[in-house]
Structure 1
Amino acid sequence: MTTLSTPSSALQRVLAFPVTRIIIAFFCVMVPFLLVQGIAFKLLEHKSLVVKVCQFLGICCSYALYCYYVHKVEKRDVSELSHDNAAREFFGGAFIGALLIGSIMAVLAVLGAYHVNAINSPSVMVAPLIMHLTVGMLEELLMRAIFFRIIERSLGSVIALLLSALAFGAGHLVNDNVSVVGMATVVSTGLLLAAAYMNTGRLWMCVGMHAAWNFVQGGVFSAAVSGGTVHGLLESTFSGPDWLTGGAFGVEGSVLSLLVTAAATFVLLMRAKRNGRVVLPYWKRAA
Protein backbone atom coordinates (compact mmCIF):
# COMPACT_ATOMS: atom_id res chain seq x y z
CA MET A 1 0.00 0.00 0.00
CA THR A 2 1.42 3.41 -1.02
CA THR A 3 1.26 6.16 1.58
CA LEU A 4 0.77 9.79 0.62
CA SER A 5 3.65 12.16 1.22
CA THR A 6 3.27 14.67 4.00
CA PRO A 7 3.16 18.36 2.92
CA SER A 8 6.51 19.04 4.51
CA SER A 9 8.29 16.28 2.62
CA ALA A 10 6.57 17.33 -0.62
CA LEU A 11 7.74 20.90 -0.05
CA GLN A 12 11.26 19.69 0.60
CA ARG A 13 11.29 17.81 -2.69
CA VAL A 14 10.07 20.89 -4.55
CA LEU A 15 12.74 23.04 -2.92
CA ALA A 16 15.39 20.44 -3.74
CA PHE A 17 14.55 20.60 -7.46
CA PRO A 18 17.33 22.54 -9.29
CA VAL A 19 14.99 24.78 -11.32
CA THR A 20 13.10 25.76 -8.18
CA ARG A 21 16.31 26.72 -6.41
CA ILE A 22 17.53 28.74 -9.38
CA ILE A 23 14.26 30.69 -9.52
CA ILE A 24 14.19 31.41 -5.78
CA ALA A 25 17.86 32.40 -5.71
CA PHE A 26 17.46 34.68 -8.75
CA PHE A 27 14.50 36.32 -7.04
CA CYS A 28 16.49 36.90 -3.85
CA VAL A 29 19.31 38.53 -5.81
CA MET A 30 17.32 40.69 -8.21
CA VAL A 31 14.65 42.09 -5.88
CA PRO A 32 16.95 44.09 -3.55
CA PHE A 33 19.17 45.23 -6.43
CA LEU A 34 16.24 46.45 -8.57
CA LEU A 35 14.56 48.01 -5.56
CA VAL A 36 17.61 50.07 -4.57
CA GLN A 37 18.31 50.94 -8.22
CA GLY A 38 14.69 52.03 -8.78
CA ILE A 39 14.75 54.32 -5.75
CA ALA A 40 18.08 55.82 -6.88
CA PHE A 41 16.74 56.43 -10.42
CA LYS A 42 13.61 58.03 -8.97
CA LEU A 43 15.45 60.45 -6.71
CA LEU A 44 18.68 61.12 -8.61
CA GLU A 45 20.02 61.80 -12.09
CA HIS A 46 20.46 58.49 -13.92
CA LYS A 47 24.08 59.14 -14.90
CA SER A 48 25.29 60.55 -11.62
CA LEU A 49 28.09 58.91 -9.66
CA VAL A 50 25.79 58.63 -6.64
CA VAL A 51 23.46 56.36 -8.62
CA LYS A 52 26.34 54.02 -9.39
CA VAL A 53 27.29 53.97 -5.71
CA CYS A 54 23.66 53.12 -4.86
CA GLN A 55 23.71 50.29 -7.41
CA PHE A 56 26.85 48.92 -5.75
CA LEU A 57 25.14 49.08 -2.36
CA GLY A 58 22.14 47.34 -3.94
CA ILE A 59 24.24 44.40 -5.08
CA CYS A 60 25.75 44.20 -1.59
CA CYS A 61 22.19 43.79 -0.28
CA SER A 62 21.67 41.08 -2.90
CA TYR A 63 24.70 39.19 -1.59
CA ALA A 64 23.31 39.37 1.94
CA LEU A 65 19.89 38.04 0.87
CA TYR A 66 21.57 35.29 -1.19
CA CYS A 67 23.37 34.15 1.96
CA TYR A 68 20.02 34.08 3.75
CA TYR A 69 18.57 31.97 0.92
CA VAL A 70 21.44 29.47 1.13
CA HIS A 71 21.08 29.10 4.90
CA LYS A 72 17.30 28.72 4.83
CA VAL A 73 16.66 26.76 1.60
CA GLU A 74 19.87 24.85 0.89
CA LYS A 75 20.68 24.61 4.63
CA ARG A 76 24.46 24.83 4.34
CA ASP A 77 27.35 27.23 4.76
CA VAL A 78 27.81 29.70 1.89
CA SER A 79 31.16 28.24 0.83
CA GLU A 80 31.10 29.99 -2.54
CA LEU A 81 31.32 33.32 -0.70
CA SER A 82 33.83 32.16 1.90
CA HIS A 83 36.24 34.86 3.08
CA ASP A 84 39.16 32.41 2.96
CA ASN A 85 41.61 33.64 0.31
CA ALA A 86 38.93 36.08 -0.94
CA ALA A 87 41.31 39.01 -1.46
CA ARG A 88 43.98 36.86 -3.10
CA GLU A 89 41.49 35.24 -5.47
CA PHE A 90 39.75 38.52 -6.30
CA PHE A 91 42.94 40.41 -7.12
CA GLY A 92 44.39 37.36 -8.84
CA GLY A 93 41.32 37.19 -11.05
CA ALA A 94 41.51 40.95 -11.66
CA PHE A 95 45.13 40.56 -12.74
CA ILE A 96 44.21 37.78 -15.17
CA GLY A 97 41.31 39.77 -16.61
CA ALA A 98 43.44 42.89 -17.03
CA LEU A 99 46.28 40.86 -18.54
CA LEU A 100 44.00 39.19 -21.08
CA ILE A 101 42.38 42.38 -22.33
CA GLY A 102 45.65 44.29 -22.06
CA SER A 103 47.39 41.77 -24.32
CA ILE A 104 44.62 42.12 -26.90
CA MET A 105 44.89 45.92 -26.86
CA ALA A 106 48.68 45.68 -27.18
CA VAL A 107 48.37 43.52 -30.29
CA LEU A 108 45.85 45.95 -31.79
CA ALA A 109 48.22 48.84 -31.09
CA VAL A 110 51.16 47.02 -32.69
CA LEU A 111 49.04 46.27 -35.76
CA GLY A 112 48.08 49.94 -36.01
CA ALA A 113 44.42 49.31 -35.24
CA TYR A 114 44.35 51.17 -31.89
CA HIS A 115 45.43 54.81 -31.52
CA VAL A 116 45.71 56.92 -28.35
CA ASN A 117 44.85 60.56 -29.07
CA ALA A 118 44.88 62.05 -25.57
CA ILE A 119 45.00 61.18 -21.89
CA ASN A 120 42.09 62.22 -19.70
CA SER A 121 42.05 62.89 -15.98
CA PRO A 122 42.26 59.68 -13.91
CA SER A 123 39.04 60.76 -12.22
CA VAL A 124 37.09 59.61 -15.29
CA MET A 125 37.86 56.01 -14.29
CA VAL A 126 35.95 56.19 -11.00
CA ALA A 127 32.43 55.80 -12.44
CA PRO A 128 33.38 52.93 -14.81
CA LEU A 129 35.21 51.18 -11.97
CA ILE A 130 32.16 51.23 -9.69
CA MET A 131 29.83 50.30 -12.56
CA HIS A 132 31.87 47.35 -13.78
CA LEU A 133 32.51 46.07 -10.27
CA THR A 134 28.76 46.14 -9.67
CA VAL A 135 28.02 44.42 -12.99
CA GLY A 136 30.70 41.81 -12.33
CA MET A 137 29.32 41.06 -8.87
CA LEU A 138 25.72 40.84 -10.12
CA GLU A 139 26.35 38.69 -13.19
CA GLU A 140 28.74 36.35 -11.40
CA LEU A 141 26.32 35.82 -8.53
CA LEU A 142 23.53 35.00 -10.99
CA MET A 143 25.45 33.01 -13.60
CA ARG A 144 28.17 31.24 -11.65
CA ALA A 145 27.14 31.06 -7.96
CA ILE A 146 23.53 30.21 -8.79
CA PHE A 147 23.00 28.97 -12.36
CA PHE A 148 26.27 27.12 -12.93
CA ARG A 149 26.67 25.80 -9.37
CA ILE A 150 23.15 24.39 -9.05
CA ILE A 151 23.18 22.76 -12.49
CA GLU A 152 26.67 21.35 -11.92
CA ARG A 153 25.58 19.64 -8.70
CA SER A 154 22.84 17.84 -10.64
CA LEU A 155 23.92 17.44 -14.27
CA GLY A 156 27.68 17.68 -13.90
CA SER A 157 30.35 20.15 -14.97
CA VAL A 158 30.21 19.62 -18.75
CA ILE A 159 26.49 20.28 -19.11
CA ALA A 160 26.66 23.13 -16.60
CA LEU A 161 29.50 24.73 -18.55
CA LEU A 162 27.57 24.59 -21.82
CA LEU A 163 24.21 25.73 -20.43
CA SER A 164 25.65 28.57 -18.33
CA ALA A 165 27.81 29.85 -21.20
CA LEU A 166 24.84 29.82 -23.59
CA ALA A 167 22.66 31.57 -21.01
CA PHE A 168 25.41 34.15 -20.45
CA GLY A 169 25.56 34.76 -24.20
CA ALA A 170 21.77 34.97 -24.50
CA GLY A 171 21.73 37.64 -21.82
CA HIS A 172 23.87 39.86 -24.06
CA LEU A 173 21.70 39.51 -27.18
CA VAL A 174 19.81 42.67 -26.18
CA ASN A 175 23.02 44.73 -26.18
CA ASP A 176 23.64 47.33 -28.86
CA ASN A 177 25.66 46.55 -31.98
CA VAL A 178 25.68 42.77 -31.44
CA SER A 179 27.89 40.80 -33.82
CA VAL A 180 28.45 37.10 -34.47
CA VAL A 181 32.07 37.19 -33.32
CA GLY A 182 31.07 39.31 -30.34
CA MET A 183 28.47 36.78 -29.21
CA ALA A 184 30.94 33.94 -29.70
CA THR A 185 33.41 35.81 -27.47
CA VAL A 186 30.75 36.40 -24.82
CA VAL A 187 29.91 32.68 -24.79
CA SER A 188 33.64 31.86 -24.60
CA THR A 189 33.99 34.33 -21.73
CA GLY A 190 31.10 32.58 -19.97
CA LEU A 191 33.04 29.31 -20.26
CA LEU A 192 36.17 31.05 -18.97
CA LEU A 193 34.44 32.43 -15.89
CA ALA A 194 32.76 29.10 -15.14
CA ALA A 195 36.15 27.39 -15.46
CA ALA A 196 37.56 29.89 -12.96
CA TYR A 197 34.74 29.02 -10.55
CA MET A 198 35.44 25.32 -10.98
CA ASN A 199 39.07 25.84 -9.98
CA THR A 200 38.32 27.62 -6.70
CA GLY A 201 34.76 26.68 -5.75
CA ARG A 202 34.36 30.34 -4.78
CA LEU A 203 33.12 33.43 -6.59
CA TRP A 204 35.90 35.92 -5.93
CA MET A 205 38.22 35.06 -8.83
CA CYS A 206 35.28 35.22 -11.24
CA VAL A 207 34.20 38.64 -9.96
CA GLY A 208 37.73 40.03 -10.16
CA MET A 209 38.28 38.65 -13.66
CA HIS A 210 34.90 39.85 -14.96
CA ALA A 211 35.16 43.34 -13.45
CA ALA A 212 38.74 43.89 -14.62
CA TRP A 213 38.02 42.60 -18.15
CA ASN A 214 35.21 45.15 -18.55
CA PHE A 215 36.85 48.01 -16.65
CA VAL A 216 40.15 47.89 -18.50
CA GLN A 217 38.31 47.87 -21.84
CA GLY A 218 36.20 50.92 -21.08
CA GLY A 219 37.69 52.67 -18.07
CA VAL A 220 41.27 52.56 -19.31
CA PHE A 221 41.26 52.08 -23.11
CA SER A 222 37.89 53.78 -23.84
CA ALA A 223 36.75 50.84 -25.96
CA ALA A 224 33.06 49.94 -26.22
CA VAL A 225 32.12 47.23 -23.71
CA SER A 226 29.68 44.69 -25.16
CA GLY A 227 28.24 47.39 -27.40
CA GLY A 228 28.11 50.16 -24.79
CA THR A 229 30.40 53.17 -25.19
CA VAL A 230 32.55 54.34 -22.26
CA HIS A 231 34.91 57.30 -21.96
CA GLY A 232 38.00 56.25 -20.04
CA LEU A 233 41.54 57.31 -19.28
CA LEU A 234 42.89 57.01 -22.83
CA GLU A 235 40.98 58.97 -25.45
CA SER A 236 41.36 56.71 -28.45
CA THR A 237 40.18 55.61 -31.88
CA PHE A 238 40.19 52.31 -33.76
CA SER A 239 40.91 51.67 -37.43
CA GLY A 240 40.77 48.51 -39.48
CA PRO A 241 38.29 45.75 -40.31
CA ASP A 242 35.58 44.89 -37.79
CA TRP A 243 36.80 41.29 -37.47
CA LEU A 244 40.04 42.71 -36.02
CA THR A 245 38.85 45.73 -33.99
CA GLY A 246 35.44 44.39 -33.04
CA GLY A 247 33.60 47.27 -34.68
CA ALA A 248 30.80 49.01 -32.79
CA PHE A 249 30.38 46.08 -30.39
CA GLY A 250 33.85 46.76 -29.00
CA VAL A 251 36.99 44.70 -28.61
CA GLU A 252 34.93 41.67 -27.59
CA GLY A 253 33.84 41.53 -31.23
CA SER A 254 37.45 40.96 -32.35
CA VAL A 255 38.70 37.52 -33.30
CA LEU A 256 41.65 38.25 -31.01
CA SER A 257 39.30 38.28 -28.01
CA LEU A 258 37.71 35.03 -29.11
CA LEU A 259 41.10 33.33 -29.46
CA VAL A 260 42.43 34.69 -26.15
CA THR A 261 39.36 33.74 -24.10
CA ALA A 262 39.22 30.29 -25.71
CA ALA A 263 42.90 29.66 -24.93
CA ALA A 264 42.53 30.85 -21.32
CA THR A 265 39.42 28.67 -20.92
CA PHE A 266 41.32 25.62 -22.14
CA VAL A 267 44.12 26.25 -19.62
CA LEU A 268 41.71 26.62 -16.68
CA LEU A 269 39.65 23.58 -17.68
CA MET A 270 42.77 21.42 -17.94
CA ARG A 271 43.82 22.66 -14.51
CA ALA A 272 40.38 21.86 -13.09
CA LYS A 273 40.50 18.36 -14.57
CA ARG A 274 44.01 17.76 -13.23
CA ASN A 275 42.92 18.83 -9.74
CA GLY A 276 39.81 16.65 -9.75
CA ARG A 277 37.38 19.58 -9.89
CA VAL A 278 35.20 18.14 -12.66
CA VAL A 279 31.82 16.97 -11.32
CA LEU A 280 30.10 13.98 -12.94
CA PRO A 281 26.33 14.03 -13.61
CA TYR A 282 24.18 12.46 -10.91
CA TRP A 283 23.47 9.28 -12.89
CA LYS A 284 27.18 8.53 -13.25
CA ARG A 285 27.83 9.31 -9.59
CA ALA A 286 25.04 6.91 -8.64
CA ALA A 287 26.54 4.20 -10.83
Structure 2
Amino acid sequence: MKKKMSINIKRLLRFPIIWMLVGAVPIILLQVLFRSLAEPVEGIGSLFLTLMLGFFAILLYKLIMKYVAGRSTPELSKQHAGIEAVWGMLTGTMFIAVSAFIIVTMGGYSFQWANAADPGSVLMTSIETALGAAIIEELVFRGLMLQAIQKLGGSWIALAVTSLTFGAFHLGNPGATLWSALAITIEAGVLLGAAFLWRRNLWFAMGLHFAWNAVEALLGIPVSGLPAAGLFTVKVNGAALLTGGDFGLEGSIVPVIISLLIAIPMLIGAARNRVSLER
Protein backbone atom coordinates (compact mmCIF):
# COMPACT_ATOMS: atom_id res chain seq x y z
CA MET A 1 0.00 0.00 0.00
CA LYS A 2 2.80 2.40 0.97
CA LYS A 3 4.70 1.53 -2.21
CA LYS A 4 1.62 2.23 -4.36
CA MET A 5 1.06 5.57 -2.56
CA SER A 6 4.73 6.48 -3.12
CA ILE A 7 4.40 5.72 -6.84
CA ASN A 8 1.23 7.86 -7.07
CA ILE A 9 2.93 10.78 -5.28
CA LYS A 10 5.90 10.53 -7.64
CA ARG A 11 3.58 10.56 -10.67
CA LEU A 12 1.73 13.57 -9.27
CA LEU A 13 4.97 15.48 -8.65
CA ARG A 14 6.18 14.73 -12.17
CA PHE A 15 3.09 16.25 -13.75
CA PRO A 16 4.50 19.44 -15.40
CA ILE A 17 2.23 21.99 -13.72
CA ILE A 18 3.02 20.50 -10.31
CA TRP A 19 6.81 20.63 -10.68
CA MET A 20 6.47 24.12 -12.17
CA LEU A 21 4.67 25.33 -9.03
CA VAL A 22 6.87 23.34 -6.64
CA GLY A 23 9.89 24.95 -8.28
CA ALA A 24 8.59 28.51 -8.63
CA VAL A 25 7.44 29.03 -5.04
CA PRO A 26 10.76 28.34 -3.23
CA ILE A 27 12.77 30.26 -5.86
CA ILE A 28 10.54 33.33 -5.39
CA LEU A 29 10.70 32.97 -1.59
CA LEU A 30 14.49 32.76 -1.85
CA GLN A 31 14.48 36.04 -3.77
CA VAL A 32 12.31 37.68 -1.09
CA LEU A 33 14.69 36.45 1.63
CA PHE A 34 17.80 37.78 -0.11
CA ARG A 35 16.10 41.11 -0.86
CA SER A 36 15.39 41.58 2.84
CA LEU A 37 19.01 40.70 3.65
CA ALA A 38 20.35 43.10 0.99
CA GLU A 39 18.22 46.11 2.01
CA PRO A 40 20.57 47.41 4.75
CA VAL A 41 23.69 46.50 2.74
CA GLU A 42 25.29 48.73 0.10
CA GLY A 43 28.02 48.54 -2.52
CA ILE A 44 30.06 45.39 -3.00
CA GLY A 45 28.26 43.66 -0.12
CA SER A 46 24.90 44.01 -1.86
CA LEU A 47 26.37 42.72 -5.12
CA PHE A 48 27.85 39.74 -3.28
CA LEU A 49 24.41 38.88 -1.85
CA THR A 50 22.92 39.11 -5.35
CA LEU A 51 25.56 36.71 -6.67
CA MET A 52 24.78 34.34 -3.79
CA LEU A 53 21.07 34.62 -4.62
CA GLY A 54 21.81 33.61 -8.20
CA PHE A 55 23.98 30.68 -7.12
CA PHE A 56 21.42 29.27 -4.67
CA ALA A 57 18.48 29.89 -7.05
CA ILE A 58 20.21 27.95 -9.84
CA LEU A 59 21.16 25.17 -7.40
CA LEU A 60 17.58 25.00 -6.12
CA TYR A 61 16.27 24.87 -9.71
CA LYS A 62 18.58 21.96 -10.54
CA LEU A 63 17.59 20.05 -7.39
CA ILE A 64 13.88 20.51 -8.10
CA MET A 65 14.28 19.39 -11.70
CA LYS A 66 16.25 16.31 -10.65
CA TYR A 67 14.29 15.13 -7.62
CA VAL A 68 10.77 16.47 -8.35
CA ALA A 69 10.45 16.67 -12.13
CA GLY A 70 12.80 13.71 -12.68
CA ARG A 71 14.67 15.33 -15.54
CA SER A 72 18.13 16.64 -16.30
CA THR A 73 18.90 20.32 -16.88
CA PRO A 74 20.71 20.68 -20.23
CA GLU A 75 19.37 24.26 -20.31
CA LEU A 76 21.95 25.04 -17.60
CA SER A 77 24.81 23.02 -19.01
CA LYS A 78 28.26 24.40 -18.16
CA GLN A 79 29.40 23.74 -21.73
CA HIS A 80 29.44 27.03 -23.67
CA ALA A 81 27.68 28.75 -20.73
CA GLY A 82 30.06 31.73 -20.86
CA ILE A 83 29.83 32.32 -24.61
CA GLU A 84 26.04 31.93 -24.58
CA ALA A 85 25.73 34.48 -21.76
CA VAL A 86 28.03 36.90 -23.59
CA TRP A 87 26.06 36.56 -26.85
CA GLY A 88 22.89 37.16 -24.88
CA MET A 89 24.36 40.28 -23.30
CA LEU A 90 25.47 41.61 -26.69
CA THR A 91 21.96 40.99 -28.07
CA GLY A 92 20.31 42.76 -25.12
CA THR A 93 22.72 45.71 -25.32
CA MET A 94 22.14 46.18 -29.04
CA PHE A 95 18.37 45.88 -28.59
CA ILE A 96 18.20 48.69 -26.03
CA ALA A 97 20.86 50.84 -27.71
CA VAL A 98 19.15 50.70 -31.11
CA SER A 99 15.70 51.34 -29.59
CA ALA A 100 16.96 54.34 -27.59
CA PHE A 101 18.85 55.72 -30.61
CA ILE A 102 15.73 55.59 -32.79
CA ILE A 103 13.68 57.38 -30.11
CA VAL A 104 16.41 60.04 -29.82
CA THR A 105 16.47 60.61 -33.60
CA MET A 106 12.68 61.00 -33.55
CA GLY A 107 12.96 63.66 -30.83
CA GLY A 108 11.57 61.56 -27.99
CA TYR A 109 14.64 61.48 -25.73
CA SER A 110 17.56 63.78 -25.05
CA PHE A 111 20.39 62.74 -22.72
CA GLN A 112 22.56 64.90 -20.50
CA TRP A 113 25.40 63.64 -18.31
CA ALA A 114 24.34 63.56 -14.66
CA ASN A 115 27.15 65.49 -12.97
CA ALA A 116 26.01 64.43 -9.50
CA ALA A 117 26.13 60.72 -10.39
CA ASP A 118 28.86 58.51 -8.93
CA PRO A 119 29.75 56.23 -11.89
CA GLY A 120 31.02 53.42 -9.68
CA SER A 121 27.91 53.41 -7.50
CA VAL A 122 25.58 53.65 -10.50
CA LEU A 123 27.35 50.78 -12.25
CA MET A 124 27.24 48.60 -9.13
CA THR A 125 23.54 49.25 -8.51
CA SER A 126 22.61 48.69 -12.16
CA ILE A 127 24.47 45.37 -12.32
CA GLU A 128 23.10 44.15 -9.00
CA THR A 129 19.44 44.95 -9.76
CA ALA A 130 19.56 43.66 -13.33
CA LEU A 131 21.39 40.46 -12.43
CA GLY A 132 18.98 39.39 -9.70
CA ALA A 133 15.92 40.02 -11.88
CA ALA A 134 17.41 38.26 -14.92
CA ILE A 135 18.34 35.07 -13.04
CA ILE A 136 15.13 34.69 -11.02
CA GLU A 137 12.71 35.65 -13.79
CA GLU A 138 14.37 33.44 -16.38
CA LEU A 139 14.46 30.43 -14.05
CA VAL A 140 10.76 30.86 -13.26
CA PHE A 141 9.30 31.97 -16.60
CA ARG A 142 11.49 30.29 -19.21
CA GLY A 143 13.03 27.50 -17.14
CA LEU A 144 9.98 26.26 -15.26
CA MET A 145 6.83 27.73 -16.79
CA LEU A 146 7.70 27.60 -20.48
CA GLN A 147 9.12 24.08 -20.31
CA ALA A 148 6.20 22.78 -18.22
CA ILE A 149 3.55 24.17 -20.58
CA GLN A 150 5.60 23.10 -23.59
CA LYS A 151 5.37 19.51 -22.38
CA LEU A 152 1.58 19.76 -22.20
CA GLY A 153 0.68 21.91 -25.18
CA GLY A 154 3.74 22.46 -27.37
CA SER A 155 6.04 25.41 -28.01
CA TRP A 156 3.54 27.91 -29.43
CA ILE A 157 1.07 27.57 -26.55
CA ALA A 158 3.94 27.73 -24.06
CA LEU A 159 5.29 30.89 -25.69
CA ALA A 160 1.85 32.53 -25.72
CA VAL A 161 1.00 31.66 -22.10
CA THR A 162 4.39 32.67 -20.66
CA SER A 163 4.44 35.90 -22.66
CA LEU A 164 0.96 36.93 -21.49
CA THR A 165 1.80 35.98 -17.91
CA PHE A 166 5.05 37.95 -18.07
CA GLY A 167 3.17 41.02 -19.33
CA ALA A 168 0.51 40.71 -16.62
CA PHE A 169 3.26 40.26 -14.02
CA HIS A 170 4.41 43.85 -14.76
CA LEU A 171 0.94 45.42 -14.43
CA GLY A 172 1.64 46.32 -10.80
CA ASN A 173 4.73 48.37 -11.67
CA PRO A 174 4.69 52.21 -11.43
CA GLY A 175 3.26 53.86 -14.54
CA ALA A 176 1.93 50.56 -15.92
CA THR A 177 -1.05 50.54 -18.29
CA LEU A 178 -2.78 47.91 -20.39
CA TRP A 179 -0.64 49.08 -23.32
CA SER A 180 2.62 48.74 -21.36
CA ALA A 181 1.57 45.22 -20.29
CA LEU A 182 0.92 44.34 -23.95
CA ALA A 183 4.27 45.87 -24.93
CA ILE A 184 6.07 43.80 -22.27
CA THR A 185 4.17 40.72 -23.45
CA ILE A 186 5.57 41.15 -26.97
CA GLU A 187 9.00 42.69 -26.50
CA ALA A 188 9.99 40.76 -23.36
CA GLY A 189 7.75 37.70 -23.20
CA VAL A 190 8.03 36.81 -26.87
CA LEU A 191 11.67 37.86 -27.32
CA LEU A 192 12.99 36.08 -24.22
CA GLY A 193 10.84 33.03 -24.95
CA ALA A 194 12.11 32.96 -28.52
CA ALA A 195 15.69 33.31 -27.26
CA PHE A 196 15.24 30.28 -25.02
CA LEU A 197 13.51 28.15 -27.68
CA TRP A 198 16.24 29.02 -30.19
CA ARG A 199 19.31 28.47 -28.02
CA ARG A 200 17.71 25.88 -25.71
CA ASN A 201 19.63 27.23 -22.73
CA LEU A 202 18.95 29.74 -19.99
CA TRP A 203 22.39 31.37 -20.10
CA PHE A 204 21.60 33.17 -23.36
CA ALA A 205 18.19 34.33 -22.08
CA MET A 206 19.67 35.45 -18.75
CA GLY A 207 22.43 37.38 -20.53
CA LEU A 208 19.93 39.12 -22.80
CA HIS A 209 17.62 39.97 -19.91
CA PHE A 210 20.50 41.20 -17.73
CA ALA A 211 22.02 43.51 -20.36
CA TRP A 212 18.58 44.86 -21.31
CA ASN A 213 17.81 46.00 -17.74
CA ALA A 214 21.38 47.09 -16.92
CA VAL A 215 21.77 49.30 -20.02
CA GLU A 216 18.39 50.93 -19.43
CA ALA A 217 19.35 51.68 -15.83
CA LEU A 218 22.77 53.07 -16.82
CA LEU A 219 21.09 55.38 -19.33
CA GLY A 220 18.79 56.66 -16.58
CA ILE A 221 15.64 55.32 -18.24
CA PRO A 222 12.98 53.77 -15.95
CA VAL A 223 13.17 49.96 -16.05
CA SER A 224 9.61 48.64 -16.45
CA GLY A 225 8.37 51.77 -14.66
CA LEU A 226 10.92 51.56 -11.83
CA PRO A 227 13.05 54.75 -11.61
CA ALA A 228 16.77 54.34 -12.29
CA ALA A 229 19.47 56.74 -11.10
CA GLY A 230 21.70 56.40 -14.16
CA LEU A 231 24.71 58.13 -15.62
CA PHE A 232 22.42 60.48 -17.58
CA THR A 233 19.32 62.53 -16.95
CA VAL A 234 16.73 61.89 -19.64
CA LYS A 235 14.42 64.57 -20.98
CA VAL A 236 11.28 63.06 -22.49
CA ASN A 237 9.42 64.80 -25.31
CA GLY A 238 6.39 63.81 -27.35
CA ALA A 239 3.71 61.13 -27.27
CA ALA A 240 3.90 58.28 -24.76
CA LEU A 241 3.55 55.83 -27.66
CA LEU A 242 7.00 56.95 -28.82
CA THR A 243 8.71 57.53 -25.47
CA GLY A 244 6.95 55.02 -23.24
CA GLY A 245 5.84 57.80 -20.88
CA ASP A 246 6.25 57.16 -17.15
CA PHE A 247 6.79 53.44 -17.77
CA GLY A 248 10.01 54.08 -19.65
CA LEU A 249 11.40 52.77 -22.90
CA GLU A 250 9.57 49.44 -22.62
CA GLY A 251 6.26 51.27 -23.04
CA SER A 252 7.35 52.62 -26.44
CA ILE A 253 6.23 51.17 -29.77
CA VAL A 254 9.85 51.30 -30.99
CA PRO A 255 11.26 48.37 -28.93
CA VAL A 256 8.09 46.40 -29.64
CA ILE A 257 8.87 46.55 -33.36
CA ILE A 258 12.62 45.98 -32.88
CA SER A 259 11.95 42.99 -30.61
CA LEU A 260 9.79 41.34 -33.25
CA LEU A 261 12.52 41.86 -35.84
CA ILE A 262 14.86 39.94 -33.51
CA ALA A 263 12.39 37.35 -32.20
CA ILE A 264 10.99 36.19 -35.56
CA PRO A 265 14.37 34.93 -36.90
CA MET A 266 14.95 33.25 -33.53
CA LEU A 267 11.61 31.44 -33.76
CA ILE A 268 12.38 30.36 -37.32
CA GLY A 269 15.74 29.04 -36.11
CA ALA A 270 14.00 27.23 -33.23
CA ALA A 271 11.55 25.59 -35.65
CA ARG A 272 14.38 24.48 -37.94
CA ASN A 273 16.31 23.05 -34.99
CA ARG A 274 13.25 21.08 -33.92
CA VAL A 275 12.73 19.69 -37.42
CA SER A 276 16.38 18.65 -37.71
CA LEU A 277 16.20 16.86 -34.33
CA GLU A 278 13.11 14.94 -35.42
CA ARG A 279 14.83 13.58 -38.56
Which of residues 221, 224, 228 is equivalent to 1:223?
A: 221
Which of residues 88, 91, 107 is equivalent to 2:86?
A: 91
Between the aligned partners of 1:196 and 1:89, the Cα distance in structure 2 is 11
Relative distance call for 1:73 and 1:279 in structure 2 (3 A) is: farther
Under a length normalisation based on structure 1, what TM-score does the superposition of the two structures give?
0.88
Q: Please list the CA deviations of residues 20-41 of structure 1 after superposition, one character each: whole Å capped at 9, or x if unmatched.
A: 1111111331233322333344
Which of residues 94, 99, 116 is equivalent to 2:111?
A: 116
Which residue of 1 is the match for residue 75 of structure 2? 80
Q: Please list the CA deviations of residues 225-249 of structure 1 after superposition, one character each: whole Å capped at 9, or x if unmatched.
A: 1111101122221211111111000
Q: Point out where structure 1 has 5 or more consecutive residues left out of the alignment.
A: 281-287
Which residue of 1 is the match for residue 210 of structure 2? 211
Which residue of 2 is the match for residue 199 of structure 1? 198
* CA contact 1:91–1:208 (8 Å) conserved in 2: yes
Query: Aligned-pair distance for 1:269?
Result: 0.7
Between the aligned partners of 1:36 and 1:4, the Cα distance in structure 2 is 38
Counterpart secondary structure, 2:274: coil
Between the aligned partners of 2:239 and 2:70, the Cα distance in structure 1 is 53
* CA contact 2:134–2:210 (8 Å) conserved in 1: yes
Counterpart secondary structure, 1:236: strand
Which residue of 2 is the match for residue 283 of structure 1? none
Query: Aligned-pair distance for 1:263?
Result: 2.0
* CA contact 2:242–2:252 (8 Å) conserved in 1: yes
Amino acid at match of 1:87: G
Which of residues 11, 14, 32 is equivalent to 1:13?
A: 11
Q: Point out where structure 2 has 5 or more consecutive residues left out of the alignment.
A: none
Between the aligned partners of 1:224 and 1:87, the Cα distance in structure 2 is 28
Relative distance call for 1:125 and 1:23 in structure 2 (3 A) is: same
Relative distance call for 1:278 and 1:18 in structure 2 (3 A) is: farther
Which residue of 2 is the match for residue 186 of structure 1? 184
Which residue of 2 is the match for residue 260 of structure 1? 258
Q: Please list the CA deviations of residues 62-91 of structure 1 after superposition, one character each: whole Å capped at 9, or x if unmatched.
A: 111111112212333321110111111111
Mean alpha-carbon deviation: is it higher for 15-24 or for 108-117?
108-117
Between the aligned partners of 1:266 and 1:243, the Cα distance in structure 2 is 22
Detail structure 1 runs of 4+ shifted over 6 Å in the superposition.
277-280
Counterpart secondary structure, 1:117: strand
Between the aligned partners of 1:155 and 1:5, the Cα distance in structure 2 is 31
C-alpha RMSD of matched pairs (Å): 2.2
Query: Aligned-pair distance for 1:206?
Result: 0.4
* CA contact 2:76–2:201 (8 Å) conserved in 1: yes
Between the aligned partners of 1:249 and 1:273, the Cα distance in structure 2 is 33
Which of residues 259, 262, 269 is equivalent to 1:271?
A: 269
Query: Aligned-pair distance for 1:265?
Result: 1.6
Amino acid at match of 1:237: K
Q: Please list the CA deviations of residues 47-75 of structure 1 after superposition, one character each: whole Å capped at 9, or x if unmatched.
A: x3334542332232111111111221233
Relative distance call for 1:5 and 1:277 in structure 2 (3 A) is: farther
* CA contact 2:19–2:64 (8 Å) conserved in 1: no
Q: Please list the CA deviations of residues 149-180 of structure 1 after superposition, one character each: whole Å capped at 9, or x if unmatched.
A: 11112211011001110111111111010133
Between the aligned partners of 2:9 and 2:238, the Cα distance in structure 1 is 58
Relative distance call for 1:243 and 1:91 in structure 2 (3 A) is: same
Amino acid at match of 2:91: I
